[in-house]
Amino acid sequence: MATTPCPHKPACPTAADPDREAAHTVAGHPEQGWSLLCNGVLLFEDTGELLPDGQIIAPHRPVDGTTVTGDDLFVRYMQAFQDTTKHMNTCPACQADVPCTDGDLFADRLEDLQDQYSARKRAGLATV
């Protein structure tokens, strides 16, 4: 699977970089448990990954309801907030209050993580 050059500034980490999960999300499907990152990595909800060359990376961070720390969920929530803000600040459509399907992906991811974090906080499970 070939990937197109990263248009982001600074450029996203490549699929070979250790911080590959920090790449921007270009297609998010939280209802299905996966996201496609700018570097071609398919990132799954359980933190497993499928790299563009077909290599499988086993889940490496616990995310089930009994072991995820509030800190981990909070970090993902804040990253989604930053991604959403960054998109809105650079997108001509969002700046003009015009419907933007690219922005919907960021907003949906943020909303999903915000709901998860709020639920954990109400349940007294969030530590942040």
- Domain segments of the chain as ranges: 1-14+23-60, 70-122
The residue among 98, 71, 14, 120 whose CA lies nearest residue 4 is 14
The larger pLDDT score, comparing residue 122 to residue 96, is at 96
The larger pLDDT score, comparing residue 126 to residue 78, is at 78
**Which pTM was predicted?**
0.47
Of 6-20, 36-50, 101-115, the poorest mean pLDDT is in 101-115
Query: What pLDDT sits at residue 33?
Result: 82
